[in-house]
Amino acid sequence: MKISWGTGIVIAIVVFMAITIATVIFMINQDVDLVSSDYYEKGIKYQEQIDMENRSQRLKDNVKMEWSGGMFEISFPDEFDGQILSGQIFFYRPSDSKKDFRLPLNLTDLKQYIPVQGLEKGLWRVKLNWNLNNKDYYYSETSFILE
């Protein structure tokens, strides 16, 4: 069976249109995780965030975060000993916002241990906000769960 050049052009156009439509449908159905859902509100408060980070950097010792033995450990410097800290810990998963979660800051001897058995392996950004003497502080660290 022989196909004429006119029929070949029509077939090529139809195939091209089908591929284009399939690509558009595929792209529309993809999840797009933005940095955060309240991006604009956070942008307005960005200077406050910078002030909190600067305040945290001026501490004598930094907050320490580390993974060990199936636990995530947050350790505060000794200069906070005997003081009441309040705040929260935010686990941010850049690849999937549905896995993000928050925990209240609940220290014992300036440390908090968080089990990581249910967390997916890979990149996590841990953000820590706390308040001491009516001053807000912020510290974040990017970590990988390998266990």
Together in a domain, 58 and 115: yes
Range of the domain at 2: 1-30
Question: What is the pLDDT, as a whole number, of residue 147?
Answer: 63
Residue with tokens 């906070």: 80
3-state secondary structure of 74: strand
Together in a domain, 68 and 111: yes
- Tell me if the pTM is above 0.75: no
Together in a domain, 121 and 49: yes
Report pLDDT digits (tens) over 23-51: 999 998 887 665 666 777 777 778 888 88
Under 8 Å CB-to-CB from 54, ≥6 apart: which residues?
Answer: none
Domains in the chain: how many in total? 2
Question: What is the pLDDT, as a whole number, of residue 35?
Answer: 61
User: Predicted confidence band at 117 (pLDDT cuts at 50, 70, 90)?
Assistant: confident
Q: What is the mean pLDDT of residues 93-103?
A: 85
Together in a domain, 64 and 24: no
Distance CA 133, CA 140 (A): 21
Distance CA 114, CA 67 (A): 9
Distance CA 61, CA 46 (A): 24
Q: What is the mean pLDDT of residues 115-130?
A: 86
**DSSP H or E run through 62:** none
Distance CA 8, CA 30 (A): 33
Together in a domain, 11 and 43: no
Q: Give the other-Cβ count within 10 Å of 132's Cβ.
A: 16
Tokens for 141? 């660290």
Question: What is the pLDDT, as a whole number, of residue 143?
Answer: 83
Together in a domain, 15 and 63: no
Together in a domain, 91 and 65: yes
Question: What is the pLDDT, as a whole number, of residue 68?
Answer: 75
Asked whether the predicted pLDDT for residue 13 surpasses 90, the reply is yes
Q: What percent of the chain has pLDDT over 90?
A: 23
Together in a domain, 16 and 67: no
Looking at residue 42, its amino acid is K
Together in a domain, 46 and 24: no
58-69 burial code (b ≥16 CB/10 A, e <16):
eeeeebebebee
Question: What is the pLDDT, as a whole number, of residue 69?
Answer: 74
Together in a domain, 17 and 74: no
Looking at residue 33, its amino acid is D
Together in a domain, 17 and 77: no
Q: What is the mean pLDDT of the chain?
A: 85
Which CATH number goes with the domain that contains 107? 2.60.40.10
